[in-house]
Amino acid sequence: MPTTLPTFALLWDESHLWGLLAWRGLCALGARPHLLRAADVAAGALDRLRPSVLVVPGGWAGRKAQALGDAGREALRRYVETGGTYLGFCGGAGLALHRTDATALLGLCELRRKSASKRLPNCSGHVYCRLHVPQHPASAALLPVWWPSQFDLTDAAIHVLATYQRPGPDFWVADLPLADIASDELAAWEAIYGINLHPRWLEGDPCILRAPFGAGSAILSYAHLETPASPQANALLATLLGLPAAPIPMWDIRHISPAWEDTALSAMHAALLHLIALGERHFLLNWRTPWLLGWRRGVPASHLTTLLAMLSTALSLSVSPSTRRWWQTQSPRCLELCQKLCEETARYLVQERRSMTQNPSSPEYGGGALTSMRQRLFGPFPGYGGIYGQILQIIDELLAKILLETTDLKV
C-alpha cells in the first residue's frame, strides 16, 4: 500500500473537545490519523483513501449527520458496507444508529437509544465493565463514560463487547459524586432532581457493541476508550484497533507550552481561566481532571472546557505560514467575541449562584431572564450557539487547518 494512504481516518466535524481527545489518543497509540471533513467524505474521500478504520469521535450525533448531508451519509454507509470499519465513541456511536426522529442518522444497525426515562441520563466517570473481546487479555476493565446515552438492544446479530457492571470510584450522577450518596438516599435525590440517579439503570446494559454491516462492521462504544490516563480503557482501544498497547498520557488544558506566539490566543486562554476561577469561587465549577471541569447542574461548563481545550491545543502545535495568515484575518473578531463572552458569563455565573441559592437544583429554575442570558451566550440545549458558537466556529476551523498540517497527508 502506498505510504500516502493512511490506515486510520478521523471525522472531524462537530467533534470539538471529543475530536481532540480521539486525535490525541490515536497519536499516542501510534495510529497517526488523517483528518477528514464532512465535505471530504461527501466528495468521495473514503472511496479514495480506504482507511482500515474510520474513527468518529463524540459530539452531537444530529449535528454530525447534518454536516455530512445526504451525500456524506451515503458515502460513509458505502465505506462500511464495502468492508470498512467504523469506530464511534458516544455521539459517534449515536450517529450510526437507526433513525429515531426527524434527524437522518447512518442506520448502520437497527439499534435505537433508550428513552431518558429508561436509562441513567446524566452520568460520568469510570464504570467497572465485563469484557467479551476474545483477543483482549483481560475479561474486565474500568472504562470511562462521559454523559452517554444507552443502547436499546433488540438485534441478535449484534455482538456485545462490553457490559456495565457497577460504578467506579469517580462516578457521578448529574452533579453528585455517587460514592458520597448512601443508596437509601438516592430516591430523595431523584425526587429533587426529577431524573433517574440510581446506577441500576446502567448495570448489565451493553457498553460497547460490534454490528455487522455488509462486508464491514461498526464498533459502537459509549465508553470513551480514548480518555487520557485511563490505562485499562486505552489498552482495550489498542486491542480493538490491532495496535500495540501504549498509555495515553494525561492532558492538562490549563497549562501550555506554546509552539508559537500569538497574543490573541494567549489572551483568550487567560480570560477563560480567569472566568473558571470565578466559577470555582462561587462553588459552581471544579476541576475533575486536568482536562475536564465539573459543574453544578445547569451551568454550561462543558462549553468552557471545550473552548479552553481547543485554545490550548491551537497554541501547543506549530502552524504553517498560510494558517498563520488566515488566523490573522480572524483573530481580532475572535478575541473581541471571547472577551465579551467571558465578561457576560461572569455576570451570568454570579446570577446563577443567587438563583441556585434560592431555588431547587434544576436547569429549569432561574427564571426567564437567566435562561435568555444563557441561550444568548451559549445557545439552546441540547447543542450550542450564541456568542460561544461564533467563537467555536472560528477556532474549530483553525484547529482543522493545524491538525491537517500535522498529519501531513492530503485527501
pLDDT tens for each residue of 114-140: 988 999 999 999 999 999 999 999 999
pLDDT digits (tens, 9 = 90+) for 361-381: 555 555 688 999 999 999 998
Return the pLDDT at 4.
Answer: 41
CA distance 92 to 12: 11
Q: CB of 54 within 8 A of CB of 46?
A: yes
Which residues, 6+ apart, have CB-to-CB distance to 411 below 8 Å? 34, 36, 40, 45, 48, 49
CA distance 338 to 333: 9
Q: Which residues pair with 208 in a beta bridge?
A: 162, 221
- Of the pLDDT bands very low, low, confident and very high (cuts 50, 70, 90), residue 357 is confident
Q: Nearest-CA neighbor of 78 among 213, 210, 219?
A: 213
CA distance 375 to 387: 9
Q: Tell me the CB-side half-sphere exposure of residue 273, using CA atoms within 13 A.
A: 16
Average pLDDT along the chain: 93
Return the pLDDT at 410.
Answer: 40
Task: Give the global pTM.
Answer: 0.93
Check whether 319 has a pLDDT greater than 50. Answer: yes
What SS3 class is residue 330? helix
Give percent of the chain above pLDDT 70: 95
pLDDT digits (tens, 9 = 90+) for 212-247: 999 999 999 999 999 999 999 999 999 999 999 999
Return the pLDDT at 104.
Answer: 86
- Of the pLDDT bands very low, low, confident and very high (cuts 50, 70, 90), residue 1 is very low
Q: CB of 269 within 8 A of CB of 315?
A: yes
Q: Tell me the CB-side half-sphere exposure of residue 16, using CA atoms within 13 A.
A: 24
- Of the pLDDT bands very low, low, confident and very high (cuts 50, 70, 90), residue 102 is low
pLDDT digits (tens, 9 = 90+) for 148-192: 999 998 877 899 999 999 999 999 999 999 999 999 999 999 999
Q: Which amino acid is at 37?
A: R
Backbone angles phi, psi at 385, to 5 degrees: 170, -145
CA distance 230 to 236: 10
- Of the pLDDT bands very low, low, confident and very high (cuts 50, 70, 90), residue 406 is confident
Return the pLDDT at 365.
Answer: 52
**Mean pLDDT within 244-258:** 95
Q: What does DSSP say about strands 8-11 and 34-36: parallel, antiparallel, or unpaired?
A: parallel
Q: C-alpha cell of 242?
A: 490491532
Spell out a b/e string for 297-332, using b for 16 or more CB atoms within 10 Å of the CB, else e. Answer: bbbbbbbbbbbbbbbbbbbeeebeeebeeebeeebe
**Mean pLDDT within 264-271:** 98
Q: What is the CATH number of domain 8-241?
A: 3.40.50.880
Return the pLDDT at 408.
Answer: 46
Check whether 289 has a pLDDT greater than 70. Answer: yes
pLDDT digits (tens, 9 = 90+) for 34-87: 999 999 999 999 999 999 999 999 999 999 999 999 999 999 999 999 999 999
CA distance 395 to 310: 7
Query: End-to-end CA distance of the chain, in Å?
Result: 15
Of the two residues 285 and 156, the one the predictor is more confident about is 285
